[in-house]
Amino acid sequence: MTLSRQLIIAIFTVLLSLLVGSLYLTTESTKQLLLSQLQSHGQDAATHLGLYLAPEIQNRDAAVIEATVNAIFDSGFYQQIIIEDSEGNTLFSKDTSPRISDSVPEWFVSMVDIAPPQTMRDVTYQWAPVGSVHVQSRAGYAYDRLWQGVSEAFVWFVVLVVLAAAVVSYLLMVIMKPLRGVEEQAIALTERRYIEQPRIPLTRDLRRVVEAMNQMVRQVRLMFDEQSRQLEELRRTAYQDSLTGVANQRALQNQLEERLDYRKDFGPGTLIYLRINNLKELNESFGMEKASNFVKIVADRLKSAAGDNDDTIIGRFTGADFLLLARRTDSDALHRTLCSLQSSFCENYQALGGSADQQPVHIGVAHCDDTTGSGEVLSHARLALQESIRRGSTFELFAEDSSERIHSNAWHQHVADTINAENIFLQAQNLADLRSLDSCHQEVFSRIMNLDETPCSAGEFISVVKELGLMSALDRAVINRVIAYLDQHPQTAPLAVNLSSDALNNDEFSDWLESRLGDCPVNSRLHIEVSESAALNNLDAVTRFRNMLKHQAVSFGIDNFGIHPAGFSYLYTLQPDYLKIDGSLIRAVDSNAEDRFFVSSLITIAHSLQIKAYAEHVERESQLYELKLLDADGTQGYLHGQPIAL
């Protein structure tokens, strides 16, 4: 029960006590007043009767006495009249019941006892006592007047209580509003949302409470921001090149191995291997500052060429070498991109004072697909780079690239028809609780048949799906299949679906999903995931999307967590239910202390926000052991089994 309600109840209790006390006092005082009036009224009647009937009492004229008493008695104000002679003998007597009105309730009559006093008047005639007159007024009159007074007092008191209650409730609402704000702040803190009350109350006690709460919110937010800042600084030190801000060699190598060797879902891609020509001589000729600026320009131009694609991998491989892995485009588009890069580098190189005859960079290019490993494509790109250096050319493409696969129109049509018909099948990989090893959920992977009616990997068709703009349609098909499966298998573990950034940016898809989940009985066993890059590139849309899922009781997670350079403050806004630490950070967690410390920090920051932290791509028992020590919540990877068909 709220404090406001308790105060209102207390006030009503006091008012009720006042009502009871007031009614009691009013009843008693009115009763005494009425009894006095009845006594006075009876005394007056006895006096008048004595004066009028004195001769008749002397003569014992019963007929006149009776007629006179009846005339007075019929007025209805008397309950009893007795006429006696001087010896105490009754000459005439008349009485009646109190005759209480029907408007007076019986419970009131039984509760309030009104016994009118009997008054007596001695009668004298010619200076000699001749008898006496006894008169008792009717009690019904007193009950009528007393009930009327009590009723009116009660009605007016109720009216005043209602008005007072309305005024008091409004005043309490205004006065207690800061406390409701404090309650909202406390609830928000449990959800890791930091809100402050901008309006400080004038009441001294409430002002102190609000100011103390605001100060605590600021302190907690400062602690979280400081924790995030330290973790981001650690990541920059361990995984980012300090000069350019792109991934350093270790992070770059891990990401390439993650996408090309482990996940094998990148699809047809192009690796650009760029080397700055004679970087040491540039430092000596131009000075360190100008040479560093040129290195930054090279990194910035490569990032611009990569665009906002979530799948792009870019980094500084060595001091003079940069790598860019991007989705494969046609030869003409690739040629234009490389020529534009080279032209931009030459202009900036000459602006620094370099010779127009000297080539500032050399580029080697190699293609890859889902069958090409990271070591193989790197080797091909290095060979192409060496050929570019030998020839002094702008760039060279690896000539014997046997991995290149040009999809025919028939393949494109096959992929489009398959997705539009939702003719897909699903595989799932278990994510196990790190302590009980029970299944937390299973992550779903979509697959289709190729032209030979054999299952193909994601890398073979996902790039075509993206090229055809059918990612939202694929996500819709996967969700329909998953919901149907969960409905048919009520005992199975929850299933997690990883949505594409195309779906997140598609308002029509969001409306469809909200409608699809509206009357869905399996929402509690459906999990939706998005990659960290997709979340950061569309934070507002993803926040609305996450709120919709929360309303539908669907769990929400962040995949590939920990590799985006934008930091972790978005977790405070997004509040996912869980996150999955990217496999590139888990690969060496059992052998590299720096990776181990970084993963431990990621888990700590997740737990501080009450977010579960899972680890992806766990393959060795030694990794599992270290993750237990780091207090991870669950693990996913080949150690728990390969993806299997649902």
The token duo for 432 is 């196990």
- Same fold for the pair 269-397 and 409-645: no
pLDDT at 576: 94
> Is the pLDDT reported for residue 406 higher than 50?
no
Of 3.20.20.150, 3.30.70.270, 3.40.50.720, 3.30.360.10, the CATH number of 269-397 is 3.30.70.270
Yes or no: say if 111 and 146 are a contact pair by the CB < 8 Å rule: no
Q: What is the pLDDT of residues 286-338, one digit of tens each?
A: 888 888 999 999 999 999 988 777 778 999 998 899 999 998 888 888 999 99
Identify the CATH number of the domain defined by range 3-163: 3.30.450
> Is the pLDDT reported for residue 429 higher than 90?
yes
Of 3.20.20.450, 2.40.128.20, 3.40.50.970, 3.30.450.20, the CATH number of 409-645 is 3.20.20.450
> Is the pLDDT reported for residue 124 higher than 90?
no
Give me the mean pLDDT over the 374-394 stretch: 91
pLDDT at 404: 42
The per-residue b/e assignment along 532-567, b for 16 or more CB within 10 angstroms, e otherwise, is bbbbbbbeebbeebbebbeebebbbbbbbbbbbeee
Give me the mean pLDDT over the 584-603 stretch: 90
Task: Give the type of residue at 604.
Answer: T
Q: Where are the domains of the chain?
A: 3-163, 269-397, 409-645
pLDDT at 191: 59
Lowest mean pLDDT among 179-193, 305-319, 569-583: 179-193
Lowest mean pLDDT among 150-154, 223-227, 586-590: 223-227
Give me the mean pLDDT over the 385-401 stretch: 84
Residues 6+ apart with CB under 8 A from 486: 492, 494, 495, 522, 525, 526
Closest listed residue to residue 270, CA positions, set 388, 403, 400: 403
> Is the pLDDT reported for residue 586 higher than 60?
yes
The token duo for 18 is 């006042």
pLDDT at 402: 41
pLDDT at 403: 41
pLDDT at 203: 67
Lowest mean pLDDT among 197-201, 374-378, 461-465, 474-478: 197-201
Closest listed residue to residue 54, CA positions, set 65, 63, 41: 65
616 pLDDT band, cuts 50/70/90, is very high
Instruction: Determine phi and psi for 89, rounding to 5 degrees.
Output: -80, 140
401 pLDDT band, cuts 50/70/90, is very low
Q: What is the pLDDT of residues 534-554, one digit of tens each?
A: 888 888 889 999 999 999 999
Lowest mean pLDDT among 192-206, 442-456, 473-487, 600-614: 192-206
pLDDT at 365: 95
Using DSSP bridges, classify how beta strands 269-276 and 361-368 pair: parallel, antiparallel or unpaired.
Answer: antiparallel
Yes or no: say if 116 and 39 are a contact pair by the CB < 8 Å rule: yes
- Rounded CA-CA distance 332/235 in Å is 38
Alpha helices in 240-330 (DSSP H): 249-256, 279-286, 288-306
Closest listed residue to residue 529, CA positions, set 567, 560, 483: 560
Mean pLDDT of the chain: 85
pLDDT at 513: 93
> Is the pLDDT reported for residue 80 higher than 50?
yes
Alpha helices in 60-138 (DSSP H): 62-73, 106-111
Closest listed residue to residue 499, CA positions, set 552, 425, 549: 549
Give me the mean pLDDT over the 388-399 stretch: 88
Give me the mean pLDDT over the 393-414 stretch: 70
Q: What is the pLDDT of residues 511-531, one digit of tens each?
A: 999 999 987 889 999 999 999
Lowest mean pLDDT among 39-53, 214-228, 310-324, 590-604: 214-228
Yes or no: say if 212 and 238 are a contact pair by the CB < 8 Å rule: no
pLDDT at 159: 85
Higher pLDDT, 129 or 3: 129
pLDDT at 107: 80
